[in-house]
Structure formats: C-alpha cells, structure tokens
Amino acid sequence: MSEAPNQEAKSTNQGVHYIPMVQEYTFSQTGNIFISISKGTTDAARSEFARVCSEVAVFFASMTKAIHSVTNPNTGKPYTLYNYNALRKVINSSGMFVPLQEQDFTFTSTENSQDLAAELMQSILDIELAPQDLPKATATVQAMVQEEKSELQALGAKDLKTGTSTRSANIVFKCECLLGYPMVTVILARFRPQEGEEEVEEAKEGGLAETAEKVIRRILKQSLLMSLLLPEPKNDAPDKQQERTWEFTKETFLFVTPKYFKEYVGDLNLAQSSQYQQYITSLTRRIKAELEPEES
C-alpha cells in the first residue's frame, strides 16, 4: 500500500492537539475503487472494513455489467463505464447514493498531456498519487478520451439525437477506514459542456443539421479530453510555461452499501447466485427505462 503524507500536529487556543492520521491506500486495477485505511487499525476493524469493501466491489461489478447491457442510441454500441448519462441514471435509480456536494472547479495546468492526466486525477480525488499509481490515472483519462471520441463520431452522423448533453465522466468509490469506522463516498467527475449548446439547439430547431454538427465538433475539440488527442499547444516563448484551463464538475455522494449482499461476500460463486442476477436484471431494466428512447 502507498502511504499518504503526514502533516504536523495543530493545536487550538485551548491547547488541544489534533494529529492528522497517517493513511495507507491502494487502487483497484482500473482505478475506480480507492481503498484507504488508517495506521493502527485493529484486526477486527480491518475485517469489518474488508466486508464493506467487498460489498462495494459486488455493486461495482453489477453496475458495470448492467451499464454494458444497455445500448447507447448515439453510437449503437453498449454504454461504457465512462458515459455520464449512464452513470447518473444508476445513481438516480439504485437508491444507494445520498447526494452530499456538487462543486465546480477550474483546472489549470502547464503540464504536457502525459502528466496532465495524473494531475487531473489528483485534483479530482484531492490526494497526492504515488508514482506507481500514475499509470492508472493515465489509463482512466484515456478511457474518458475514447468515450468522448466515440460520442464525437456519433454526433457527426446523420441523426444528432441527444445533442451535446452526453459527456464522458469518471466514477470512483472511495472506501475509507477512519479510526476503525468504515465510510464509502463516491466521486463522479465530468467536464461541463463548453459554450455553444444554444447554437446547437437553434441550428437543430432550424433544421440546419450541418451547422449543428460543426458547432458540436468545435465544442468537443475545445474540451480537456479532446485536447489530449491533439498536439501540444504551440509555445512562442519557450522560456515561459503555457497554461491551459478547463472547467469540470465534481459530484460527491455517500454510498449506502446493499446489506443483503453480505451473505454472498467471499462466495466464489457470487456471479452465479440468483439474487446477484436478479439485481443486475432489475438495475438493467431501470437504466433502460431512463436511457432508451420511447417508441413512437
């Protein structure tokens, strides 16, 4: 596990000392599950925390499978884990997410594209990543880039369908054991659509599909993710670092773990259990009801 940096103890005027906890952390292979535990946690608390993390892993697996079971009307392919609309519908329909915060951020960087991905993920998660975790951050952003690229290609087709409202996003389940107390929060980060959506709607309403398509392409090319596919901006002053600025929205939720999954934790045949399959079917049905267009 990587170790989060410690800080000096702080004291109040009353002389009470507060010492920040030293935390160990690790990521899942895809970077979508973050696990952190404070040093000195008892074995009993670690065991209970492991059960909570298992519940999160079960939900994440079922959510991913359900999302991939629904077809994206824009692309004609299954939705991916990096599609904002699909993720938001899961959050709205599952009943396991309690909204906590929604924050708008301005992200400014002078880094090149390779370092930009790591800096972006650190900004979203509000932690300093260890060197061994940087490749996971890059892989995550590359997946978001691919989602953005697929939407761009689809929106350039004959039918513009949902316009520019569908954007790429990333979801991270933060599982923390704080002095023995398990806490799971979920971070959903998305890049806000750039200015120009009104132009798109006006063009579509006027039947100017070609104009709308051009506006969409311009909007997406201005986004942070699409910039990672393009060459680095030309710098006429080599001695000066060139800044690039984008805006994104970060939504934070408290995740209430599905207690009835507990009896399946550690069961190697979990994927074959009837309750697991029933939950995936139920979640898939709810996502389809929200995402698939109504038949006329």
pLDDT, tens digit, 9 for 90 and up, residues 203-235: 555 555 555 556 555 555 555 555 554 444 455
Q: Is residue 9 part of a domain?
A: no
- The residue whose two tokens read 């009835």 is 260
Domain that holds residue 195: 22-231+241-291
Share of the chain above pLDDT 70, in %: 62
Note the pLDDT tens digit of each residue in 132-181. 777 777 788 778 878 877 776 776 543 444 444 457 899 999 999 998 88
pTM for this structure? 0.71
Q: Is residue 142 part of a domain?
A: yes
Q: Is residue 177 part of a domain?
A: yes
Mean pLDDT for the chain overall: 74
Please state, in angstroms and rounded to a whole number, the distance separating the CA atoms of residues 223 and 282: 35
Q: Is residue 166 part of a domain?
A: yes
Q: Is residue 144 part of a domain?
A: yes
Q: Is residue 65 part of a domain?
A: yes
Residue 126 has pLDDT above 50, yes or no: yes
Note the pLDDT tens digit of each residue in 55-99. 899 899 999 999 999 998 888 899 999 999 999 999 998 878 989
- Is residue 55 within 8 Å of residue 264, measured between CB atoms? no
* Partners of residue 176 on adjacent β-strands: 36, 183
Residue 201 has pLDDT above 50, yes or no: yes
Residue 244's pLDDT is 62
Largest CA distance in the chain: 70
How many structural domains compose the chain? 1
Q: Is residue 6 part of a domain?
A: no
- Is residue 120 within 8 Å of residue 144, measured between CB atoms? no
Q: Is residue 8 part of a domain?
A: no
